[in-house]
Structure 1
Amino acid sequence: MSFNNLDTLYRQVIMDHYKNPRNKGSIENGSMTVDMNNPTCGDRIRLTMNVENGIVQDAKFDGEGCSISMASASMMTQAIKGKDSETALKLSSIFSDMMQGKDYDDDIDLGDIEALQGVAKFPARIKCATLAWKAMEKGINEA
């Protein structure tokens, strides 16, 4: 597949998650709630997660922001549901490496998350893409 076709496909995936977010909302009586914002561009997120016995049973987000931050939150909640905390944090580390343009462990299937790899070319947008991931890390590390 040519670079232009791949770029177009990735943009479509990002826009699909933005327009049709997965796991949008909140969990009543969620085991943890994390509020974070990106003052640079005004993105804000509230992440609620239900973590039982070290497993992310459910994760939902609410907030507002650009297409990249909201799509990333949608993709992140999909990726961590059903995973143990250690795996969720490893995914976050891989995502961070990808955002910084570093080599990353590609043994783990990132699914739709790979669509965000082009964000690394736009340093000002990296904080948008990583906002939800930082909220997840904070929630798990504080649990």
Structure 2
Amino acid sequence: MSLGNQLDTLYRQVIMDHYKNPRNKKELEGDTLSVDMNNPTCGDRIQLQMKVDDGHIAEAAFTGDGCSISMSSASMMTQAVKGLPVDDALRMSSLFSDMMLGKDIDTAGLDLGDIEALQGVAKFPARIKCATLAWKAMEQGLEEEDQS
């Protein structure tokens, strides 16, 4: 098996692990930022909740349902942004969008972790909206928080 095939298999396993065992799939208690978003082309829907404290994302969680790509991406995103300064979370979201467009990305200073498993989605344009749904919800929530 070639290295490329081995990576594809590993990435599929990571995606399926996050789909079958989602991290942070729950409702947060107390005062939270909450964003509902859906992808009408495929029916994915998500409610993202975040607690922002002193310019950092203290907590992030989601509920909703959809395909393995959208739900695993939400799981990975909530894991990755917890504890990050808002600016770093938004930078990570921008890098993720570029990765979904097949662009080369510079992750200096940011650890994408399991998120890199989603890079193969770029080969399937119809699935990019699935992968970016949770990220767009995070961006929208943080923009609304910033304006309030």
Taking structure 2 as the reference length, the TM-score comes to: 0.94
| Shift, 1:67, TM fit | 0.1
Q: Does 1:44 align with 2:16?
A: no
CA RMSD after TM alignment: 0.9
| SS of residue paired to 2:94 | helix
| Shift, 1:80, TM fit | 0.3
CA distance in 2 between counterparts of 1:17 and 1:99 reads 18
| Shift, 1:31, TM fit | 2.2
TM-aligned CA distance change 1:30 to 1:115, over 3 Å: farther
| Shift, 1:105, TM fit | 1.2
| Shift, 1:35, TM fit | 0.2
Instruction: Show structure 2 runs of 5+ residues with no match.
Output: none
Q: Percent identity?
A: 70
Would you identify which runs of 4 or more consecutive aligned residues in structure 1 move more than 3 Å? none
CA distance in 2 between counterparts of 1:18 and 1:66 reads 8
CA distance in 1 between counterparts of 2:94 and 2:19 reads 23
- 1:46-76: CA deviation from partner (whole Å, max 9, x where unpaired): 0000001111000000000000000000000
| SS of residue paired to 1:133 | helix
CA distance in 1 between counterparts of 2:81 and 2:107 reads 17
CA distance in 2 between counterparts of 1:109 and 1:59 reads 17
CA distance in 2 between counterparts of 1:135 and 1:109 reads 20
| SS of residue paired to 1:61 | strand
| SS of residue paired to 1:102 | coil
Give 1:37's aligned amino acid: N
| SS of residue paired to 1:4 | helix
Number of equivalences: 143
CA distance in 2 between counterparts of 1:92 and 1:141 reads 13
Higher alpha-carbon deviation: 16-25 or 100-109: 100-109
> What does residue 19 of structure 2 align with?
18
Q: Does structure 2 retain, via aligned residues, the 8 Å contact 1:30–1:48?
A: no
| SS of residue paired to 1:83 | coil
Alignment of 1:1-143 (within 5 A): 2-107=3-108, 108-143=110-145
Give 1:125's aligned amino acid: R
| Shift, 1:26, TM fit | 1.0
Taking structure 1 as the reference length, the TM-score comes to: 0.98
| Shift, 1:106, TM fit | 2.8
Higher alpha-carbon deviation: 23-32 or 64-73: 23-32
